[in-house]
Amino acid sequence: MKNDDKSHGLGFRESPLAQSTYDAKAGTIDVTLASETPCPCYDRGEMVDEVLLADGAEWDRESVPFQDSHDRYSVEANLGSVRNMRKEPGGLIVGQVHFASTQKAKDTEAKYRDRHLRDVSVGYRTSPDHSIRIGKKEKAMVLGREFQAANERGMVIRTKWQIREVSAVAIGADPVAKSREFFPASDCSAVTLPLIGLTGLKLE
């Protein structure tokens, strides 16, 4: 599940890693940052299924910070950076984690290398101006695509959203956001799981 933090407005979407793309010499690993998999989150005080459209993903720099569990308040929480972010077929946003040379980053790198950790989580900002809401049981056409809300809750489609950071997490919420292995693109996914009960912390 994902929760909104209205004081900060930053959203979290976790993803699992997909045979490993870890490069020991370079200190890097390829990751799926996000997918278009609907993930439950709180929006305007109610639970909805949120869809982040890959075509609407934006980032304003060549790299974003790679953090420990979405900790944005200390430089000690920085584990490196995510670079070479790009959009791939199947509604995936992917990138490459470059681990820093600090001891904490090296310890985290070892956990991904040994596959004790596989998930990552993207921290993102959304805007009400680029959010389309669909009521329970209803259908809607969004940018030429049909979306169907569940019987028990509505849906919100984010047509534009901005990646602010990516984090190492134990469990993510988006079932597709993970470190990547050599599976077909259709099998790679990015998952978001709750961080202390949070799967979405948005900067609206």
148: in domain: yes
30: in domain: yes
Q: What is the pLDDT of residues 61-114, one digit of tens each?
A: 999 999 999 998 999 999 999 999 999 999 999 999 999 999 999 999 999 999
Place 171 in a pLDDT band, splitting at 50, 70 and 90.
confident
Instruction: Say how far residue 126 (Cα) sits from the centre of its chain.
Output: 13
155: in domain: yes
Is the pTM higher than 0.75? The answer reads: yes
Please tell me the chain's helix, strand, coil percentages from 3-state DSSP, rounded to the nearest 5. 10, 50, 40
Over 70: is that where the pLDDT of 198 sits?
Answer: no
For the chain, how many helices (H) and strands (E)? Answer: 1, 16
Which residues form the domain of 61? 11-190
197: in domain: no
Over 80: is that where the pLDDT of 182 sits?
Answer: no
Classify 130 as helix, strand or coil: helix
Please name the helix (run of DSSP H) or strand (run of DSSP E) that holds residue 168, with its range, or none.
strand 161-168
What integer pLDDT is reported at residue 162 of this predicted model?
Answer: 94
Instruction: Say how far residue 16 (Cα) sits from the centre of its chain.
Output: 9
Q: Which residue has the higher pLDDT, 67 or 42?
A: 67
Question: By mean pLDDT, which of 7-11, 54-58, 65-69, 103-107 is the weakest?
Answer: 7-11
Neighbour-count burial for 125-147, b at 16+ CB within 10 Å, e otherwise: bbeeeebbbbeeeeeeeeeeeeb
3: in domain: no
* Residue/partner pairs of 76-81 with CB below 8 Å, 24 or more apart: 76/104, 78/105, 79/104, 79/105, 79/108, 79/109, 79/168, 80/27, 80/105
Place 193 in a pLDDT band, splitting at 50, 70 and 90.
very low
Tokens 């004790």 label which residue? 116
Over 60: is that where the pLDDT of 18 sits?
Answer: no
Residue 114 makes CB contacts below 8 A (sequence gap 6+) with none
160: in domain: yes
Count of domains observed in the chain: 1
Strands 154-158 and 46-52 come out as: parallel
Over 60: is that where the pLDDT of 187 sits?
Answer: no
Mean pLDDT, residues 106-126: 93
Dihedral angle sign, alpha carbons of residues 204, 15, 98, 103: positive
Q: Which residue has the higher pLDDT, 42 or 2?
A: 42
Q: Which residue has the higher pLDDT, 5 or 112?
A: 112
Beta carbons within 10 angstroms of residue 1's beta carbon: 15
98: in domain: yes
Place 59 in a pLDDT band, splitting at 50, 70 and 90.
very high
**Partners of 165 in beta bridges:** 123
For the chain, give the mean pLDDT.
81
- Distance, in Å, from the CA atom of 11 to the CA atom of 118, rounded to the nearest integer, reads 20
